[in-house]
Structure 1
Amino acid sequence: MDELEKEIERAVHSVADAFGASITLSTDHRLPAATLNEEAVQIMSHAIEQVF
């Protein structure tokens, strides 16, 4: 995960440099969590049961 974050930082800074901009980049080091949708869970559960 740290390597991915470093790659993203490099990419963002490269874009800023390409446009002659200066930036301040900050992260809160949290990952987004999935929000469960009960209807989607039921559909996927049924599909998995049908396959197996």
Structure 2
Amino acid sequence: MELYQVPAGSLDAWIAEHLQPSEEFQLQVKDTVRRICDFLKETCFDDIKVGVS
């Protein structure tokens, strides 16, 4: 069913089914971002101290 055919009351369900990323994709993105952050912290900023105020 195309978006223009979806009744207004069914839009939330249609969006969740067709447009929201899957849980598996979200987990892959989180893992990838974590790996990139770990790499940057360990490799690029190893000798820099960062304080949080």
TM-score under structure 2 normalisation?
0.37
Greater share of helix residues, 1 or 2? 2
TM-score under structure 1 normalisation?
0.38
